[in-house]
């Protein structure tokens, strides 16, 4: 990883959202995106029932894609990325606190940002490292950089899981994109064409005024960062430039690892 950016290969991928459980359904969404909605839960059949019951709607989405993408591999470091995480659980805990009610230790343990990553590690009895990131509109980019750092340190593979859901009603007036429930996972390897699609990510520069690039009224109708990147990947597009918080990120699909 250097100042010019990072390069990596995607060896396998998986995605899940309410109403979108197959590769064909996701491809149809990518070709003609629509607002994802619904509250059906991921089955997470690979996880023991006792632990699966602890996971909420958001966690189950993340776990579903993590299991499918790893496909039984063990010892693979993981990077989980969610902008908002289990904020609904946090709201419920704060409401209990305001009312003088005792807090549930189980609810608290599952409200932390690495809850899904922790459940995944415990369920698989896998002691590989895991990280959980939240970086606003830049979350996906920083998660990829974190994963590429692990590859640079010698990890042969790294699992990246990106997921988010709807905001609690209390926060919906502050939405700056069209929040939707989704999760996807990539198994990243060093950048070789033999390992799968070769991708590059770089910081393309700073914007003096992002508002001039994207009018205020359109912000609430833009896709979440995770869905923007997923659509770019599924459509096999050569490049995606994302403007967020005064910076431009350039995603590229490379013909060769040496590009």
Sheet holding 78-81, edge to edge: 130-133, 78-81, 158-164, 182-189, 6-16, 197-206, 247-254, 239-244
82, part of any domain: yes
Establish if 2 belongs to a structural domain.
no
Quick one: pLDDT at residue 193?
A: 64
Give me the CATH number covering residue 65: 3.40.47.10
Cβ atoms < 10 Å from Cβ of 159: 25
In contact, 33 and 231? CB cutoff 8 Å: yes
Name the DSSP class of 2: B
Round to whole Å and give the CA distance between 148 and 143: 9
The verdict on residue 228 lying in a domain is: yes
Q: Is residue 41 part of a domain?
A: yes
The tally of CA atoms less than 13 A away on the side-chain side of residue 133 is 20
pLDDT higher than threshold 80 for residue 26:
yes
Give the model's confidence band at 16: pLDDT under 50 very low, under 70 low, under 90 confident, else very high.
Answer: very high
Number of domains in the chain: 1
Model pLDDT, residue 92: 77
Higher pLDDT, 250 or 259: 250
Tell me which residue range forms the domain holding 231: 8-254
Q: How confident is the model at residue 195 (pLDDT cuts 50, 70, 90)?
A: low
Measure the CA–CA gap between 10 and 190, rounded to whole angstroms. Answer: 9
Q: Mean of the pLDDT values across residues 193-212?
A: 67
Residue 208 or residue 146, greater confidence = 146
Residue 61: name the closest of 40, 92, 33 by CA. Answer: 40
- Is residue 20 in some structural domain? yes
- Structural domain contains residue 1: no
What b/e readout covers 205-226, taking b as 16+ CB neighbours within 10 angstroms? eebeebeeeeeeeeeeebbbbb
Per-residue pLDDT reduced to its tens digit, 204-236: 765 555 444 444 445 566 889 999 999 999 999
Q: What local confidence, expressed as pLDDT, does residue 112 receive? A: 80
161 occurs within a structural domain = yes
Residue 157 has pLDDT above 50, yes or no: yes
What would the mean pLDDT of 70-77 be, rounded to a whole number? 94
**pLDDT reported for residue 63:** 97
Residue 123 in 3-state DSSP? Answer: helix
Dist. CA 174–CA 247, nearest whole Å: 21
Domain annotation covers residue 3: no
């Amino acid at each position: 990883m250097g100042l010019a950016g990072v390069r990596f290969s995607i060896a396998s991928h998986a995605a899940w959202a309410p109403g979108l459980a197959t590769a064909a359904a996701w491809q149809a969404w990518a070709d003609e995106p629509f607002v994802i909605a619904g509250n059906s839960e991921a089955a997470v059949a690979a996880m023991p029932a006792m632990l699966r019951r602890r996971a909420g709607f958001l966690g189950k989405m993340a776990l579903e894609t993590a299991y499918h993408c790893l496909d039984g591999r063990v010892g693979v470091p993981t990077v989980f990325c969610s902008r908002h995480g289990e904020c609904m659980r946090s709201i419920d805990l704060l409401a209990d606190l305001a009312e003088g009610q005792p807090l549930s230790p189980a609810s608290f343990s599952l409200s932390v940002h690495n809850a899904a990553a922790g459940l995944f590690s415990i369920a698989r009895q896998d002691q590989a490292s895991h990280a959980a990131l939240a970086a606003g509109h830049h979350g996906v980019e920083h998660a990829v950089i974190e994963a590429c750092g692990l590859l640079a340190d010698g990890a042969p593979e790294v699992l990246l899981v990106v997921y988010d859901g709807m905001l609690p009603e209390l926060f919906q007036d502050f939405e700056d994109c069209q929040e939707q429930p989704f999760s996807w996972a990539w198994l990243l390897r060093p950048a070789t064409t033999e390992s799968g699609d070769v991708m590059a990510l770089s910081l393309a520069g700073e914007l003096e005024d992002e508002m001039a690039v994207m009018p205020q009224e359109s912000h609430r109708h833009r896709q979440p960062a995770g869905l923007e990147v997923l659509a770019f990947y599924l459509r096999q597009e050569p490049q995606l430039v994302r403007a967020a918080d005064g910076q431009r990120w350039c995603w590229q699909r490379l013909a060769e690892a040496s590009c």
